[in-house]
Structure 1
Amino acid sequence: MQDLPSRLPQQRSIVTDQLPGPVSAALAARTAASVPRGIAPSLAAYVVDADGGVLVDADGNSFIDFASGIAVTSVGASNAKVVDAVAAAAAHFTHTNFTTSPYQSYVDVAEKLNEITPGDHDKRTVLLNSGAEAVENAVKIARAFTGKPAVAVMDRAYHGRTNLTMAMTAKNVPYKSGFGPFASDVYRVPMSYPLRDQLTGPEAAERTIWTMEKEIGSENLSCVVIEPIQGEGGFIAPAEGFLPAIAEWCRANGVVFIADEIQAGMCRTGDWFAVNHENVVPDILTIAKGVAGGMPLSAVTGRAEIMDASGPGSLGGTYAGNPVACAAALAAIDEMETHDLAGRAREIEGIVREVLEPLVDETAGRVAEVRGRGAMLAVEITGADGRPDAAAVKKVAAACQAAGVLILTCGLDGNVIRLLPALVISESLLRDGLTVLAAALRSEVGV
């Protein structure tokens, strides 16, 4: 893997006697006194600088960042081209609202997303602020196009924290508990989970389709919304053949197939979008996270006839498609193309599998699986009895953080470690972080 330029030293370094250090500890106390407890940071440190694959905290500690702001800073947290583009755009105007006084950068981003998303059909793109907002608008558009109300989502799905997307999200705690009632006409159907269900893609799809036909009915169903690789649900990649079968059923039954590529998209899985792995062409894609180099921007891109079903003035928002965020997106996408970050994601996958896959045999299956694609990878941990072991995962995450490596966890059972390094991370930094992670896994689940 070729090293790319970076502003900060790309190295792990813990200089305080404990974490958090004194400055971060003081900031944590201020946080507790001013921010609700529903906001719960993963890192026991407060970041003052970040670049490439590292985060530097207020006490001078440097962490290897295997989170990337949850797959957002794919091009780095202070990519020079993105920073310059943001500064140049802000120097002219920070906001006008595209629906009141439009500007070119919005159109430029829409044209670019229409170009790189799957399929050669005529497309349209609406720009928004967040992933949840993109999903909610995709559902609105699908309902407007089909005239049908119902929405099908998958087991273990995560789609956001608004009222509708909480209904679409599977995990109760911490996302849904106490926040109901939720939006209606949302139905959950089985997802392919190869490690647990042992079904082929077509077999899993047959089960899902049976559920949709018998429990919802295609005559009532506006759309199926699916993460091509699930995020919060456990980084679950469905078995080969599952996505094409679901997409084909949707086409045959007048149901809009929506691919939620908010976490998996923008080169993260080794291609522009995860659906490209099986040449699936969705009717609508939702895009966010990595698209704008850390600036808040999301998009809904889809077939022109579907996207145009909503009447004039029915889509938009005050900050939707902010001009500074649009400039950042154009710079970030240019960096993805210039440095072939999809190719780097595939290189990252090769290194991660090289280091971590031997642990499956070495731990007698307690490292149950290393899965995912590109730089969206996960390690599922089970106990000696084969049941999910969330306690071990918490210990591994804590050990990594103490050693200067930030990792995140996920899965309904809390027993999955997820890896989302920046696509610009250097090989030496990646291998250093993986060495720390492998040592923590051996310590907690080794035999």
Structure 2
Amino acid sequence: MSSGRPISEALRTLATNLKLDVGRLERGETLKTTVVVPTPQEMKKLLAVRAPGSDFDRIAAALELTDEHPDSYEAGLKHFSAYLCGVSELDTSIGSAFFKKRFPMTVHVAVAQTVEVKTDVVIEPGSPPHFVSCDDLIFDGGSYVVQNTNFTLWVTNELKIKSSGGRPYHIGILGAPGGDGPAGPNAEDQKQAPRGKDAPVPSPGVCTGAGSGGDGTEGNVGYTGGKGEDAKDGLPSLGALINIANFATLQAPLVLFGMSGRGGTGGKGGNGGRGQQGGDGGNGCKSGCEGTDGGNGRNGGNGGTGGNGGKGGNSVNGGLINLNINSAQKGPSFFVYTGQQSSPGGGGAAGEAGWPGDPGKGGEGGHGSSRGKDGNTGLMGSPGTKGQDGGGYGTAPQLIPGTYVPPESIAIELERGS
């Protein structure tokens, strides 16, 4: 969108650095494309994060490796962030998994003279980095919702707020929740326990010596429900670089919000199985006018134990938000930052106790004889144990305030994406 005036030299510089068609930009077009950055060194040129100055120690401490494995993706992400911020020299052997996976790095680019945010711009977790630049940015009912993605914003002339949207912030730098653990499988029920043998018939009309029907078999305890699976850890908020030349006067302040990813919820334990039904008693002999007693039914099995819930996912610490603004507009009248801790995921619910097994029935008696006794119903099983909650609360993204400096013309090695 064009404002009717020429584009600023600062926006022209950014477009030229990105090897975009400046003529189309001057005609009022919005340019959306992807560029491929081949190396970490070229990515640092593109983002142009300012030197940390007095915040050096704070930034270095925030990006220091702690529990990360030296070769892991997470270690590489932290080390790369430290390199971009100027508190570490580049060493791609630290967190090599990150550098092998992410480079060459694709970046989504959007450049226009004026950008109006009328609806929420939601950037899904794990998206390629987003680079947005404009002379004028107008919030008119929408917000940027940036989830687990690097985000760069240049406003080279003025940021204006016409109306608020449905969210309590204009720019949200967020992580993403970890995936919930799947529920454990419910235990299967068992077939009825074996029935007692029927008494034999020694000869037609005679039951003498045949004995009673056999007793049924005792029911087994129900099977145990499956354990719920552990949840995934939250995904962190990633680095953001926000450069704003000026805020419009006589308006509400820009609201920035930062929160990293909470842990997922552990999977529910599977339900315990029903106790096995006791075996029925065998029938007594029945021949002619004679008969013998039926066998006794056996007790039903106790219900099975419910499965244990899975462990909740851990919360993770947020990255850094570099906010560079006009030195005369650094008070709360112009912008407000709110950071919130992310919570660990809860442990999965315990699986429910298995129901008691039904009793076996007594066998039928022969002529003049007794029916066998029925067994007893089993006992209710026990529920499983709730899963362990995830660990700790993730720190909110740290805001690093700075002073706006116009972009510099710089040769960056880039390729156009598809």
TM-score bracket, normalised by the shorter chain, equals under 0.3
Q: TM-score, normalised by structure 2?
A: 0.22
Which is richer in strand?
2
Q: Which has the higher contact order (CA 8 A, sep 6+)?
A: 1
The structure carrying a bigger helix percent of its residues is: 1
Q: Structure 1-normalised TM-score?
A: 0.21
- Which structure has the greater CA radius of gyration? 2
